Amino acid sequence: MNTLTVSEVTLSFGGLNALTQVSLDIRPGLITSIIGPNGAGKTSMLNCISGFYHPSSGEIRYGAERLTRASPHQVTKKGIARAFQNLELFGGLSVLDNLMLARHRHLAYSFFHALVYWGKAARLEAENRAFVEDVIDFMELEAHRKRAVGSLSYGIQKRVEVARALTLGPQLLLLDEPMAGMNIEEKEDMVRFILDIQKERGITVVLVEHDLGVVMDISDQVYVLDFGELIGAGSPREVAANRKVVDAYIGED
């Protein structure tokens, strides 16, 4: 497993800095949370890591691989997947079909094999179907597997979004506010899934989340952004005692 290293990344839009010389060290096997008030630059950081934005300066590395200028497709091939805050699903397709589509890059066979559906094509299709079915079981989506995603409740759709990312087979999973808009019961379920993703599947998790109670309960390390700058880092206890962090959330005395 690799360490994700973000070194002095700055992201500018015109004359405005969304991120200013931010450095992160995402250690493998842990749950790392990135928190901060609205507009702090949390999603911008995930966009840089996942290749949707390219930093104006600085460097991003995943192990020995340089990701600073990589495309989203290239980042995914390196073993990094992302679940989006705004659902990136096909509402008219079933849960199963959405997840199978996410496995398309693993279906490496020729047009001839696809045409006759024999040998390599049949074997790869079976292997990928088995992988997807395992994810469906893991995320407890069996009852919804053939239902159109658009007909499901918001909480279940968020679960499908995380499942879609898992079907890519990542070593590192980026979760952008996976509990936004959920009720208490749905949040408790999502917390359980995140912990299981880390512990049972051995996946490194980077979590952007506004629910500080959740963050402090499940995170191994926490980074705090405010107006695009890093103002705190450490264990949940260390971050909670950081005066700059307290001032950013509740204002100065």
Question: From residue 15, how far is each of 11, 40, 56, 129, 229 by CA, in Å?
Answer: 10, 17, 12, 48, 16
**Local mean pLDDT, 10-residue blocks, the chain (253 residues):** 94 92 96 93 96 96 95 94 86 92 64 52 78 95 94 93 94 94 92 96 95 93 95 94 85 55
User: What is the dihedral sign for C-alpha 58, 39, 82, 15?
Assistant: negative
Residue 107: the pLDDT is: 56
Residue 80: the pLDDT is: 96
Encoded tokens for 91? 């509402």
- Report helix, strand or coil for 82: strand
CA distance 40 to 60: 19
pTM of the shown model: 0.89
Residue 101: the pLDDT is: 87
Q: Which tens digits make up the pLDDT trace of 78-117?
A: 999 999 887 778 889 999 999 988 887 655 544 445 444 5
Residue 105: the pLDDT is: 64
Domain residue ranges in the chain: 1-79+170-253, 89-169
Q: Which CATH class is domain 1-79+170-253?
A: alpha beta
Check: CB of residue 3 under 8 Å from CB of residue 28: yes
- Report helix, strand or coil for 225: strand
Residue 120: the pLDDT is: 63
Q: How far is CA 106 from the centre of its chain?
A: 20
Residue 12: the pLDDT is: 95
Residue 242: the pLDDT is: 92
Residue 22: the pLDDT is: 97
Residue 10's CB is within 10 A of a number of other CB atoms, namely 16
Q: Kindly give the interhelix angle for 154-166 and 95-102, rounded to the nearest 10 degrees.
A: 30
Q: Kindly give the interhelix angle for 120-138 and 95-102, rounded to the nearest 10 degrees.
A: 120
Q: In the 3-class helix/strand/coil scheme, how is 109-162 assigned residue by residue?
A: CCHHHHHHCCCHHHHHHHHHHHHHHHHHHHCCCHHHCCCEHHHCCHHHHHHHHH
Check: CB of residue 59 under 8 Å from CB of residue 10: no
Q: How far is CA 23 from the centre of its chain?
A: 18
The DSSP call for residue 94 is B
Sheet architecture: strand order including 16-26: 16-26, 4-13, 57-62, 65-66
**Which residue, 213, 150, 211, is CA-closest to 181?**
211
CA distance 67 to 101: 25
Q: Kindly give the interhelix angle for 154-166 and 184-199, rounded to the nearest 10 degrees.
A: 10
